[in-house]
Structure 1
Amino acid sequence: MKAITIHQPWATLIALGEKKFETRSWATKHRGPIAIHAAKKVDKEICLEEPFRSVLARHGYTADNLPTGAVVAIAQLAGSYMIYNTVDNGVHIVRCPNNEYEFTKVEFIWRPESVFGYFAEGRFAWEMVDVKQIDPVPAKGQQGLWNWEG
């Protein structure tokens, strides 16, 4: 199964269903099952900021008890979409073939989702659906997409 390593708290936010899009500087053609791997790195400062602090607390997490170095969820990667930022309408993604802009097919990114990712124009939003949180399974992560044998 393909896997993606994501720093904490973002990996746990996906596992909890609180973060729907993982933002990346690159698109992917992969669709289907993907393991969400929590890196060993935890951004403890961001965990204290809102809305991170309250969302994590609602699920019993703090910067000190987030799982690290483990697969924490299995999801379906439904798509990889271009991010646009227009002056009049704000940040949104376009769910269109070939990333061609068509206003009738845009999805606006609202809070807290907009805070949980780096939605700069020209980046990509990977849509995670059917997310299933699992008990952490220790694994060594890698950059990019990698194969997890768990």
Structure 2
Amino acid sequence: MKAITIKQPWATLIALGEKQFETRSWQTKHRGPIAIHAGKSTDKDACNDSWIKSTLAEHGIKSYKELPTGVVLATAELVDCYKVETTVGHVSVLSNVKVVEGLEVAFGDYTEGRYAWELTNVQVLAKPLEAKGQLSLWEWNGDSK
């Protein structure tokens, strides 16, 4: 299964169902199952952002220290990859006239020219599995390492 390494807190926001788009500077042609891997690093400044902090708190996460790292947290379906056309405030227009708004925009980098990967059917693993992440998309065999 393809996997993507995502820095915390964004990997957890996806696993919690609070973030449905992962934004990247590059596009992908991959569609289908994808493992969500929480990288080894955590953006502590982002964890102190009021929107992110309050959303994590709604799920009982009070500190960035509680975010798991170096593990696959969930799987999802990567259903499409859109180019960001414009963003004004908390509303982004993507290619194919797809509109993203509200916290979703606050939880990503919707700078014009970037890409938004739409994720659906997120399934949280019963127990996160240790895995060494990589850049770009990589193959995950589903085993703990």
Length-normalised TM-score, structure 1: 0.88
Kindly state the Cα deviation for residue 123 of structure 1 after the two structures are TM-superposed. Answer: 0.8
In the alignment, the residues of structure 1 paired with residue 87 and residue 60 of structure 2 have an alpha-carbon distance, to the nearest angstrom, of 37
- Would you say the 8 A contact 2:8–2:43 is kept in 1? yes
> Which runs of 5 or more residues in structure 2 are unaligned?
none
Aligned residue for 1:148? 140
Aligned residue for 1:22? 22
Kindly state the Cα deviation for residue 68 of structure 1 after the two structures are TM-superposed. Answer: 0.2
Cα distance, 1:30–1:55 mapped onto 2, change above 3 Å: same
Kindly state the Cα deviation for residue 50 of structure 1 after the two structures are TM-superposed. Answer: 1.4
In the alignment, the residues of structure 1 paired with residue 109 and residue 139 of structure 2 have an alpha-carbon distance, to the nearest angstrom, of 25
Paired amino acid for 2:134 = Q
Size of the aligned set, in residue pairs, is 138
In the alignment, the residues of structure 2 paired with residue 78 and residue 108 of structure 1 have an alpha-carbon distance, to the nearest angstrom, of 15
Aligned residue for 2:99? 108
Cα distance, 1:24–1:86 mapped onto 2, change above 3 Å: closer
In the alignment, the residues of structure 1 paired with residue 99 and residue 111 of structure 2 have an alpha-carbon distance, to the nearest angstrom, of 13
> Which runs of 5 or more residues in structure 1 are unaligned?
96-105
Aligned residue for 2:116? 125
Deviations 1:48-77 (A, max 9, x none): 111100100111112010010000010000
The range that moved more, 26-35 or 45-54, is: 45-54
Q: Which runs of 4+ in 1 moved over 3 A?
A: none
In the alignment, the residues of structure 1 paired with residue 26 and residue 48 of structure 2 have an alpha-carbon distance, to the nearest angstrom, of 29
What secondary structure, in the 3-state scheme, does the structure 2 residue paired with 1:34 have?
A: strand
Aligned residue for 1:73? 74
Q: Give yes or no for the alignment of 1:63 onto 2:55.
A: no
- Would you say the 8 A contact 2:87–2:110 is kept in 1? no
- Would you say the 8 A contact 2:7–2:43 is kept in 1? yes
1:136 counterpart (117, 128, 136)? 128
Kindly state the Cα deviation for residue 91 of structure 1 after the two structures are TM-superposed. Answer: 2.3
Deviations 1:68-106 (A, max 9, x none): 00000100000111111167xx521123xxxxxxxxxx2
Kindly state the Cα deviation for residue 46 of structure 1 after the two structures are TM-superposed. Answer: 1.2
What secondary structure, in the 3-state scheme, does the structure 1 residue paired with 2:28 have?
A: coil
Cα distance, 1:86–1:117 mapped onto 2, change above 3 Å: closer
Q: CA RMSD in A?
A: 1.2
Kindly state the Cα deviation for residue 132 of structure 1 after the two structures are TM-superposed. Answer: 0.8
